Every structure is written in C-alpha cells, then in structure tokens.
A = this chain, B = another copy of it.
Amino acid sequence: MKTHTIAIVDDHRLFAQSLEALISSFGNYEIAFYAGNGKEFINSLKEYGKNPDIVLLDINMPVMNGIETMAWIKENKPELKTIALSMDDSEETIIKMLREGAKGYLLKDIHPDVFKKAITDVIEKGFYYSDNITNALLDSIDKKEKDDSIKLKEREVEFLKLACTEKTYKEIAGIMFLSPKTIDGYREALFDKLDVRSRIGLVLYAIKNKFIEV
C-alpha cells in the first residue's frame, strides 16, 4: 500500500501535532509538513518541492485564513486535494469553502474513523461529503430564504434592542415616545416576522443576529 503525504494547516499547534500522531497511527500516511496559517503554508509548499496528496485546512487562522488560502489554491494549485477542517459549521463558511474547490469538509467533533474514511475517500474517489454537510446545506437553503426575506425597519430595530433590556414595554414606549399600544404593535409584528412566541425569543434572535452585544 502506497504511503500518502498530508499537509496540515492549523494555528492550533497542539491540535496539529496531535493530529499528526493520530495520522501516523493509521499506518500508510505521513505528514509532509504543517503550517500555522495560509502564508506559512504557501512558503512550506515551495520548500517541500512537490504536492502533498492531501491538505487539511483549518478555517479560522490568523494572518491568512482558510478561505483566503482556498482561494489561493484554486488560483495557483487547483490540483491540490483539500479537506476543510473546522469547528465552525456555519453554512456560509461551508458553502464558501466548497465553492473554492475544497474536496471535503469536516467538523472537529467527528469520530476519528470518519476522519480516516474522509482521507481515504478523497484519495481514492476524489471527494468526501459527510451527511452533516449535506444536511447543513439543505438546512441553509430554507433558513437562508427565510432569514433573507426578514427585513427589519429602523424603528423595529430600535424597539428590538430595547426589548433586550430589563425595561417593561411601558418604559420602552416612554423612551421611544410612543404609546404602549404602538409598542405592542411592534412586538406583534416582530413576533410574526421572526417566528418567536415570547420576548425571550426576541432576545435570542437579536443576539444570534448581532443586533446587540453581550
């Protein structure tokens, strides 16, 4: 069985080197090199002289992140087989990476067996897509369409932010120079738009969508 080479690009040194130990234990793989970010990777690639068979690419890195790196690869080394690795499973990110040509996407909480399968799949079949990913993609289709159509007006945003405080609606009405009844109207409109059933839902939505800081 031929030995394949793998490059690891991840700023978490402990993780990268642990991963190396794990991969070594698989037997027929060896680490070509690893790099702490995209820039380092590009340099190491030149030094290394030939292409590694697989590149494991973290998304969140300082200096040059996974998405930028993926773009560089697409431009300069499109034949490189890259698997994206991340804890962050926001669909946005996955989509971006796949669009830039990643051959696979893995979350760091997967089982090592899945990890091994992903590597061999990419080498043998050229790609690996986990169920999570397809699910995430499907999820994102309707969620995005829902989310996108949600447009909050200026005054609604103002209300939303105040709803994320300990003030009562009556107090909020005072602050916004509106009748409590009008506030109630805003509340209902938002409940409807955001598909929530309580003020707690408003707060959670506001935080998720970064209307307020915590």
Residues of A in contact with B (beta carbons under 8 Å apart)? 11-15, 17-22, 24-25, 87, 106, 108-112, 115, 163-166, 168, 196-201, 203-204, 207-208, 214
Contact = CB atoms under 8 A, between A and B. Distances in A.
Contact of A108 (B15, B164, B198): B15
A1 B25 CA distance: 24
A39 to B, nearest CB: 16
Contacts of A166: 196-198, 200-201, 204
Contacts of A11: 109
20 contacts: A12-B87, A12-B109, A13-B108, A14-B106, A14-B109, A15-B108, A17-B22, A17-B112, A18-B21, A18-B22, A21-B21, A21-B24, A163-B200, A165-B200, A166-B197, A166-B198, A166-B201, A200-B203, A204-B214, A207-B214
B110 A14 contact: yes
For the complex of A and B, list the 6 residue pairs with the smallest distance between their C-beta atoms, beginning with the closest.
A21-B21, A18-B18, A18-B22, A21-B22, A12-B108, A17-B112
B109 A13 contact: yes
A122 B109 CA distance: 27
Given A14-B111, A164-B200, 13 more contacts: A13-B108, A14-B106, A15-B108, A17-B22, A17-B111, A18-B18, A18-B21, A18-B112, A21-B25, A166-B200, A166-B201, A204-B214, A214-B214
Contacts of A199: 199-200
A22 to B, nearest CB: 4
Contact of A204 (B109, B112, B164): B164
A21 B203 CA distance: 42
Given A203-B200, A203-B203, A15 B13 contact: no
Contacts of A13: 108-112
A124 B80 CA distance: 46
A8 to B, nearest CB: 10
A23 to B, nearest CB: 8
Contacts of A22: 14, 17-18, 20-22
